[in-house]
Amino acid sequence: MTEKNGSDEQAANGWFTEPEGVRLQKVLAAAGVASRRVVEQYIVEGRIEVNGIVVTELGRRIDPEHDLVAVDGVAVQLDPGKRYYMLNKPRGVVSSMRDEKGRPDLREFTDELEERVYNVGRLDGDTSGLLLLTNDGDLAHVLAHPSFGVEKTYIAKVQGRVSPQTLQKLKQGIELEDGPIKVDRAKIRQHQGDDRHSIVELTLHSGRNRIVRRMMAEVGHPVVELVRRSFGPLHLGTLRIGVMRELTDSERGLLLTISREADAARGRNDAASGSSGDSADDRAAADSAGADSADEGES
């Protein structure tokens, strides 16, 4: 009895306290990475990083709200409130959460969600394909900002027979009214039998308004139909047009890895220049506000 009272007195006087944080294996199991037993094996094998440092001790505790965790180099989202969706946007739907002109907008797909999400970047009304929706402001900022170089791949049906020389010209760069632009990669997917149309695949990281349509018109091949097939590491795959789904754990991890690497690079640049940079809240607010405008599009 005396020993117990002594321990109570020690605790009351702050001589020892319970360890802070939550055990790493418990956090990752809750995040759906694997069972606690499997996560423990990952830790022993040195496959888990916390804030960029490999963890090998099983007793490690973390703060899920602030610590950044990665497994095999892929980031893990520990915030259960963050949501990420992929939509195969149909033609005729504008990339806005609220269209002031009364046109069909993204609420058709998001009204039943419990969380408020917003689109990352835009596709114009005549373009279909991959659109990402999320409530993660940091991620949205990185993916939508052209300075971070996130690639998008489009499949375009265009007028006329596109030659290899035309694709080379697009790779080398052309001049538009708002400045020079070039694609990162380009290839001919198919020529139509009557030579009236061609199907080309273009990959670029620019986010300028209707950039694919303007580029193809400039080289003499106006776009007839346009689909965005990929956005960063995300691919439409077999997702049907007009259907939305949550990202898989793997897809979400790849996006978060891009975001964290960009944040780390931005932090190094800010430190070198003496700038404090934008806060996460500022970026989230700006992205959320920008997503409600349907007058600008990426394609």
- So which residues are the catalytic ones? 124
For residue 46, give the amino acid letter.
G
Q: What are phi and psi of 217, to 5 degrees?
A: -65, -35
Q: What are phi and psi of 14, to 5 degrees?
A: 75, 20
φ/ψ region of 100 (left if φ > 0, alpha if ψ in -120 to 50, else beta) reads alpha
* Nearest CA among 250, 257, 27, 247 for reference residue 138: 257
3-state secondary structure the chain: CHHHHHHHHHHHCCCCCCCCCEEHHHHHHHCCCCCHHHHHHHHHCCCEEECCEEECCCCCEECCCCCCEEECCEEECCCCCCCEEEEEECCCCCCCCCCCCCCCCCHHHHCCCCCCCEEECCCCCCCEEEEEEECCHHHHHHHHCHHHCCCEEEEEEEECCCCHHHHHHHHHCEEECCEEECCCEEEEEEECCCCCEEEEEEEECCCCCCHHHHHHHHCCCCEEEEEEEEECCEECCCCCCCCEEECCHHHHHHHHHHHHHHHHHHHHHHHHHCCCCCCHHHHHHHHHHHCCCCCCCCC
Q: Up-side HSE of residue 81: CA atoms within 13 Å toward CB?
A: 6
